[in-house]
With several copies, the nearest count.
Chain A
Amino acid sequence: MADLETFRSETRAWLEANCPAEMREPVRDEDDAYWGGRRAKFKNDAQKAWFEACLAKGYTVPAWPQAYGGAGLNPAEAKVLREEMSRINARPPLSSFGIWMLGPALLHFGTEGQKQRFLNEIARGEIRWCQGYSEPGSGSDLVSLQTFGEDKGDSWVVNGQKIWTSYADHADWIFCLVRTDKADKYQGITFMLFDMASIGVSTKPILLISGNSPFCETFFDNVSVPKSYGDDCPAYVGQINRGWDVAKYLLGHEREMISGAGGGDRTAAIGAVMKRAAARTGDELDPVLRAELAMFDVDALAYTAMGEKFLDEIKVGKAHPAQPNMMKYVGTELNKRRHELMMAAGGSRSLEWDSEETGGGKPSRGWLRTKANSIEGGTSEVMLNVIAKRILDLPGA
């Protein structure tokens, strides 16, 4: 405990010294974060300085082993670091699907060779990854995917189409589910890693209702993927035809992550903020809106407590393994409701789509963006199915 307090004061001092003021403001949107990769550019010096300071300490991936580019913090230390960063609103130095998704899969399923190579690249922000899961005909029913890798001995030739590949147009590599055995639905999928610069890969951004295009359609036209990238470094995670195990593990991890992203309790309750915003224009909240905000705040504050309990329980292995599905379901539905209420409180001003006063339509675009929360990473309907089956043990679920 004393060590932890030492660590806390050291961390605090280090952050004080190394985290520039500009990096202590909330990330405005996805483009405002640093994503790394071959074509990465820093938006400003502060972003660069902060990234490099963290990189030197292993703080781009603080809980990963030092051998793979992390700081090797234990869970208690990692929590202290999170708390201290959150205390000063420090931004993450590096945003990356490599950190959030591929990394955990490799830590769990990867060979030593894969870890040495890919985890270090991720930690250093050298390679930007994207995820190739969904296909036009396979959304919630992911396992029905059709993208096929034909076995050519030392390589596969991959053909097919992915959809909802986040920032595929900016990504360097993809981790991708590919069918390698048509006979077995579940045990015929391989979790492949390959370069997006490979011949035959093309991407097309999808314009969303929010006006942004964070996702792409990605097409594979006779893409040749070697089975190995060298000693102890296969081009697939886990075993050939057993990629579904890796995908399931990652989906669980993703839901855990999404469910943890509900935000601290500083932002959970919005009624007071909305009242102050109204007051700034000499207005006050409609009484019915006020009641709806209060009902929301009750739910949001209660969910914050649930989030805390969930994280505490995960740490000691007390949480039901399907609990992330519940957290994801409730958290995303709440976030949609939060933005509905913010739009209602904001009135006609928040309808503006590209005015300067609204920062280019942040309220309305942000509101529309939240509608994907309950679709991506497993729909609310799928979450409810999973709870029924795995937690409530209902028949036929």
Chain B
Amino acid sequence: MPLYHNDDQAMLADTARGFMAEEGNITKQLRHWRDRNCKDGFGHGLWKQMAEMGFTGMLVGEDDGGLGMGHVEAGIVLEEIGRNLTPSPFLTSSVLAATALKHGSADVKGRYLPGLIAGDSVFAVAIDETAKHRPSRITTRAERSGNGFRLSGSKSFVVYGGSADMIVVAARTSGSDDDDDGITLFAVPKDASGMSHDAVRLVDSSMATHTKFDNVELDGDAVIGEVDGGREVLNAMLLAGRVGAAAEGVGVASGAMDMTVDYLKQRKQFGRLIGEFQALQHRASHLYSEVEIARAVTIKAQQLLDANDGAGSEKAELMVAVAKAKVGRTAGLAVREGVQMHGGIGMTDEYDIGLYMKRDRALQEFLGDANYHTNRVAELNGY
């Protein structure tokens, strides 16, 4: 498959770009909800609009009422979300949770997918337990209790956890903390008793929770996939989320770069446009190269995942790690160069470039930063 968008994808990209620029732009969404100190951190109206566009269920199979599209398509939407810094539960709901739900029973699917597709529901995922992404270590425990389970433990960095109608929780049902086996995924409903959230606003104005599970009683049908066999589903979910985060990161990097290159063409100092200064030109050219490459490897990873129906071949796993690492470093470079080249006004809240820096920082951290994934690339390559 050629590494560019086919005609359908190109059309989707046009649509998504226009829609997100119009409805998801910084003024209408990020600043709007932020300045109102919105407790959700995103707009439900836009979420509903995204449902009308068909975005919310794009990864859901056609049999289940979705569009049955792939990660290339989801990535197209995510890049525009990134470019516009649109606060949206799309990544957690329509990519991460939706990927988990693929492995759910008809019952679980029936309970949650219609709401997602209609834009009525929002989902979150609870994986990390410390401040860094360590999915190999799951200590939150779910013990058999009657026909169901009793869940205890705590999770952090649950993005949009406070607004979620359902949270996919990775818990240990057997084995010890670092075991690969013995993981089970649960769909924990909003109103589960014993679940409590400590909500925190993050640097990018998004909301996350530290979530505690204190003997939360769950029905047996809250299980997604196999009991004790959740690692595979978790991995599929992580791969989907990481390549999605990479796509969003490409959007953040692109948006920051475009804004900065525009500024270089407007701002004068020493009687010249600052874009005439060769040192800045070379840095901008270097940044352009990195962004192009980051985009290319992200598409590569998306295609590899799609080719394998999201299950993650060895090669797909490697390229997802490469993509998340490369995009991480590139977006970091883009926002740092962006703020520096904007000079003083880049430090002000009034200009948008700083918002890119903040969003990048949070996105960077989500599902493993560039250091984590660089290390993974070494491990996957056997060194």
Judged by CB atoms under 8 Å, the answer to whether A and B touch is yes
Query: Which residues in A have their C-beta under 8 angstroms from that of B361?
Result: 343, 351, 364, 367
Given contacts A292-B371, A299-B326, A308-B3, contact A348 B132 (CB under 8 A): yes
Select one of B157, B278, B322, B340 contacting A375, CB under 8 A: B340
Whether A391 lies near B288 (C-beta < 8 A) is yes
**Using an 8 Å CB-CB cutoff, how does the interface string of A366-397 with B read, 1 for contact, 0 for none?**
01100110111001110111011001111111
Whether B130 lies near A394 (C-beta < 8 A) is no
Query: Which residues in B have their C-beta under 8 angstroms from that of A27?
Result: none
**Using an 8 Å CB-CB cutoff, how does the interface string of A341-363 with B read, 1 for contact, 0 for none?**
00110111111111100000100
Whether B382 lies near A272 (C-beta < 8 A) is yes
Query: Which residues in B have their C-beta under 8 angstroms from that of A336?
Result: 336
Which of A18-26, A36-44, A205-213 lies at the binding interface? Answer: A205-213
Most A Cβ at <10 Å: residue of B2, B299, B374, B383:
B383
Q: How long is the Cα–Cα vector from A368 to B205 in the complex, in angstroms? A: 14
At the interface, yes or no: B176 with Cβ under 8 Å from chain A? no
Whether B300 lies near A305 (C-beta < 8 A) is yes
Select one of A134, A323, A371 contacting B357, CB under 8 A: A371
Nearest CB in chain B to that of A281: its residue: B130
Given contacts A292-B371, A348-B128, contact A371 B275 (CB under 8 A): no
Nearest CB in chain A to that of B158: its residue: A348
Q: How long is the Cα–Cα vector from A186 to B20 in the complex, in angstroms? A: 46
Q: How long is the Cα–Cα vector from A397 to B284 in the complex, in angstroms? A: 12
Query: Which residues in A have their C-beta under 8 angstroms from that of B192?
Result: none
Whether B131 lies near A209 (C-beta < 8 A) is no
Whether B378 lies near A293 (C-beta < 8 A) is yes
Whether A209 lies near B297 (C-beta < 8 A) is no
Query: Which residues in B have their C-beta under 8 angstroms from that of A288?
Result: 371-372, 374-375, 378
Query: Which residues in B have their C-beta under 8 angstroms from that of A375?
Result: 340, 343-344, 346-347
Q: How long is the Cα–Cα vector from A353 to B199 in the complex, in angstroms? A: 11
At the interface, yes or no: A290 with Cβ under 8 Å from chain B? yes
* Min distance, Cβ A229 to any Cβ of chain B, angstroms: 31
Whether A396 lies near B273 (C-beta < 8 A) is yes
Nearest CB in chain B to that of A358: its residue: B200
At the interface, yes or no: A303 with Cβ under 8 Å from chain B? yes
Top 5 nearest A-B pairs (CB, nearest first) are: A347-B131, A209-B354, A309-B3, A348-B157, A387-B285
- With A368-B203, A381-B277, A397-B278 known, 16 other A-B pairs at CB within 8 A are A292-B371, A308-B3, A310-B296, A312-B3, A313-B2, A316-B4, A326-B285, A336-B336, A347-B130, A348-B131, A353-B202, A353-B205, A364-B361, A387-B288, A395-B275, A397-B281
Interface set of B (CB-CB < 8 Å, partner A)? 2-4, 128, 130-134, 156-157, 200-205, 208, 261, 264-265, 268-273, 275-282, 284-286, 288-289, 292-294, 296-297, 299-300, 318-319, 322-323, 325-326, 329, 332, 336, 339-340, 343-344, 346-350, 354-355, 357-358, 361-362, 365, 369, 371-375, 377-378, 381-383
Interface set of A (CB-CB < 8 Å, partner B)? 134, 137, 139-141, 144, 163-164, 206-211, 269, 271-272, 274-275, 278, 281-283, 285-295, 297-299, 301-303, 305-306, 308-310, 312-313, 315-316, 318, 323, 326, 329-330, 336, 340, 343-344, 346-355, 361, 364, 367-368, 371-372, 374-376, 379-381, 383-385, 387-388, 391-397
Can you show 11 pairs from A to B with CB atoms below 8 A apart? A141-B270, A269-B381, A294-B377, A297-B381, A312-B3, A329-B285, A340-B332, A352-B203, A371-B340, A372-B344, A385-B285
